[in-house]
Chain A
Amino acid sequence: MSPRPPGADLPEHPDLLWRDVEPKASYDVVVVGGGGHGLATAHYLAKNHGITNVAVLEKGWLGGGNMARNTTLIRSNYLWDESAAIYEHALTLWEGLEEDLGYPILFSQRGVLNLAHTLQDVRDSVRRVEANKLNGIDAEWLEPDEVAKVCPIVNTSADIRYPVMGATYQPRAGIAKHDYVAWGLARRADQAGIDLIQDCEVTGFTTSGDRVTGVRTTRGTIATGKVALCAAGHTSVLTDMLGFRVPLQSHPLQALVSELLEPVHPTIVMSNAVHVYVSQAHKGELVMGAGVDSYNGYGQRGAFHVIERQMAAAVELFPVFARAHLLRTWGGIVDVSPDASPVVGRTPYENVYLNCGWGTGGFKATPGIGWCLADTIANDEPHPYVAPFALDRFVTGALVDEHGAAAVAH
C-alpha cells in the first residue's frame, strides 16, 4: 500500500458559513459592528420582521471583538425590573437558540453562585433574590453548607479573610460557546439573504439634516435608510463622527484561562468582594475574569497587576487552583456608562439607533438585545424592554443603576 499523504485522514474542510460578498450601493438597514449584538440584530430583523436588505459591516472579522474575548457567563439575576426584563428575555431566547439557529452553541445551564462575604453582602443578596422571584426569575439564597454542596471546591471554612457567608444561586444561568453563537447567528442571517461584510470599517457618515443618508467605509460609501450602532467599546469613536455625545468610557477588561483540567468546577462562581469569577469551559480550562482596568483604553490589553489581584482572590476561594498553570490572558474593550446599564434607542438623528454601554456584561444579552433592537428598527419605536435604557435618562435622571447586580466592580 502506498503511503498516505499527510492530512489525508483529516475531515473535509467545512462549507463556509456565510457568503463573502461585495457591499451593494445601498441597503435598507446598515448595522455597524459584527459582534454578537450586530449579528443577533440582523438575525431577528430577518426572522421577526422579514427585513433582509441589510448589511452588517465589521472592521475586523465577525465575532472578533468582545464577542471573542468574553467569559460567556449568562444569567438574569439582576436587581431592577428594567434589567431583569431584558436579561430574562435574553435567557429565555438562549434556551431555544440552538434549535432556532440549527447550529450547536453548547449552551450549558450549570447555574451561578454569587457569593456574599459580609453581613451587608448577605442583606443585599437576599434582597436581590426576593426581587428576582417577584420578576419570575429563578433565584435562591444558599447557606454556606448548601454552597459547598453545589460547588465542593469553594473554600467555605470560616477562618479565611473573606469567609463565604452564603450565596445567591440561579440554576438556569450558564455558559455558551461564544464563537459558535457568532457563527450560528451569522449563518442564519446569511441564509436569510443578509450581507455580512468583514474588513469594512465605518470611517464616517453622510447626512442630510437630521438623517444619515449613508456610511463611509474603507470599502466605499454605502447608502442606507437606517443605521444601527453595535460597536461596543468603539461606539464613542462613531458618535464623535456623528457629532453627538454618549456618556461612555471605554476600558480594558481582561480574562484568562488555565491549562485543561479534569472536571472539578460544576457551576459558575462569582464574587464581588474578593473580585473574581470562575467557570470551567467544556474542554476543561478554568475561565476567569475580574473587573476593568481603571484607565480609559482602546488597546485590547490591560495591566498585569489586575491579573495578580484576581489570581490571589481565586486561590483564596479555590485552594485547589494553587498549582494550576495559567495558559493565556487577553483583553477586550468595554464601554461603561455612569449607571452601569446599557444605552439603547434613539439618537439626535432620526434614523440612527444606538446600542452600547453593555460594559462587562453584554454577552448574556445577545439574543435579547438583537430581538429588541430589530423590533425598534422595524417599528421606529423603542421596544418596551429597551425603552428604559434611552439616552435621555441622563437628563431626566431616570437612571437604572445596575451596579447592584453586576457582580464585578466597574
Chain B
Amino acid sequence: MQLISCPWCGPREEVEFSYGGQAHVPYPEDPAALDDEQWAHYVFFRDNTKGRFAERWCHSAGCRRWFNAVRDTATYRFEAVYRPDEPRPVTT
C-alpha cells in the first residue's frame, strides 16, 4: 500500500482514496453541436497512457474532496498532486 498526499490533508494511506480516471476532460462547450461519434468519445473514450498520466482521485474516507495527480502508470509513483483549479504541473 502506498501513501497518497491529499493536497488538503497531507499523506494518507491508499485505502482512504478512490480513483476517478483521467483528469482534465472538460464537458463539451456546446453539447447540442456534438454528433454521435463526438458524444461517444466524450462518454466512453479516455487516454490509457503507459507512463505519466494526469488523473483524478477523491479523498473519500478523509476530507472527501477531489484532486488531481500526475502518476506514472508503469511504476505507480505519484509525481505530483494538485487542486482541481490548478494547472497540470510540469514533471521531469
Which A residues contact B (CB, under 8 angstroms)? 234, 236-237, 240, 245-250, 294-299, 303-305, 335, 338, 394-397
Contact = CB atoms under 8 A, between A and B. Distances in A.
B45 A245 contact: yes
A299 B48 contact: no
A394 B53 contact: no
Contacts of A394: 40, 43-45
29 contacts: A234-B50, A237-B50, A247-B46, A249-B21, A249-B46, A249-B48, A250-B48, A250-B73, A294-B18, A295-B19, A295-B73, A296-B21, A296-B48, A296-B55, A296-B73, A297-B73, A297-B74, A298-B50, A298-B74, A303-B2, A303-B14, A305-B1, A305-B14, A338-B43, A394-B44, A395-B36, A395-B37, A395-B40, A397-B36
B91 interface: no
Contacts of A234: 50
B75 A245 contact: no
Interface string B50-78: 10010100000000000000010111100
B8 to A, nearest CB: 20
A234 B74 CA distance: 11
A27 to B, nearest CB: 26
Contacts of A296: 21, 48-49, 53, 55, 73
B19 A305 contact: no
Given A236-B48, A245-B41, A247-B45, A299 B74 contact: yes
Contacts of A237: 50
A310 to B, nearest CB: 14
Given A299-B76, A395-B36, A247 B50 contact: no
A303 B50 contact: no
Contacts of B21: 249, 296
A305 to B, nearest CB: 5
Given A297-B76, A299-B75, A395-B36, A247 B18 contact: no
Interface of B: 1-2, 14-15, 18-19, 21, 36-37, 40-41, 43-46, 48-50, 53, 55, 71, 73-76
A133 to B, nearest CB: 32
A388 B48 CA distance: 24
Given A305-B14, A395-B37, A294 B45 contact: no
B50 to A, nearest CB: 5
B36 A305 contact: no
A119 to B, nearest CB: 28
Contacts of A299: 73-76
A294 B73 CA distance: 12
B14 A298 contact: no
A250 B53 CA distance: 12
A304 B1 contact: yes
B20 to A, nearest CB: 9
Contacts of A295: 19, 55, 71, 73, 76
A274 to B, nearest CB: 18
A396 B39 CA distance: 10
A304 B37 CA distance: 39
A338 B44 contact: yes
Contacts of A240: 49
- The 7 A-B residue pairs with the shortest CB-CB distance, nearest first, are A236-B48, A294-B19, A247-B44, A395-B40, A394-B44, A298-B50, A394-B40
A249 B47 CA distance: 8
